[in-house]
Amino acid sequence: MNDRKRQVMIAAHALFVEKGFNATSIQDILDESHISKGTFYNYFTSKSELLIDIFENIKIEIRKRRMAILAGRPVSDCKGFSDQLAVTMEVNKRNNLFALYQGVFASQEEELKQFVKRHYLEELKWMQGRVIELYGEAVKPYSLDLTLVFLGMIQQIIHLSMVTKNELIDLREIIAYGLRRMDTVIEDVQRNEDILIGIHFIEKWFPESTLSKEKKKRAIMKQISSMQKEAAPKQSELLTFVQNEIGSLEPRVAIIEAVVQAMDGGDTLAGLIADYLR
């Protein structure tokens, strides 16, 4: 992305937060970013496309930072998950994501509304997948319920902290508290086989191909975590590299294959990766 386009997105982002999406005109964006209308349309076909690009940039930042946090750690590491969630919330807050969402739902732009809904569901599905990775396949039937309970708990504590202001609670303390409560909740729902929504509720929003891809990716990450436990320093470094590549937006297939071939006992991992990338 060139500097001029980035300048336009920064200016528009600030205007959308301050005035709202509907109340911000393209002329407002031109004036704030000091560009011509022709330059604007070289970058974006519409104001809606500009906002979608802003959302996509936020998603990419979150994805990269979450991936960096987990590098070299097993997927079942609670501290890694806590840090990932804290970073997600901090990036969303810095970008005033809630204000941007409000602007979208106050508009008549159906494409934007569908985009935001999809983003919410994708984040929920990411959380659900992480709950399974943290607590094991046994919690899978309850994983969506557990995700919603966990998020509801910490979001209400955060909201109370923000409303009172003089009683601010550290975000990571809130997340840690929620995770400690999860142990009891998981024990209870498993003992009573208590399912409210179930895992299939959210899956109908995603194509079968997407669900299959995510399942294969989780299997790779689980295998890497297992291998990391007994890996020598050099092997651990290679595993971390593969973990980062698989989690990237555009995995470099040839490099991944070469690295896995150089590993000791990497046949199972190689098979999983080949199945995922084909």
CA distances from 57 to 10, 92, 226 (A): 11, 11, 32
Cα three-residue angle 252-88-188, rounded to 5 degrees: 105
Q: Which residues of the chain have pLDDT under 50?
A: none
The confidence score (pLDDT) of residue 211 equals 59
Contact 58, 95 (CB under 8 A): yes
Phi/psi at 50 (5° precision): -60, -45
b/e code 193-225 from CB counts within 10 Å (16+ = b): eeeeeebeebeeeeeeeeeeeeebbbbbbbbbb
H helix intervals, the chain:
3-19, 26-33, 37-43, 47-70, 78-94, 97-105, 110-135, 143-164, 171-192, 200-203, 208-228, 233-247, 253-261, 267-277
Report which of 171, 154, 254, 271 is spatially closest to residue 216, judged by C-alpha positions: 271
Give me 154's structure tokens.
């910490």
The confidence score (pLDDT) of residue 196 equals 93
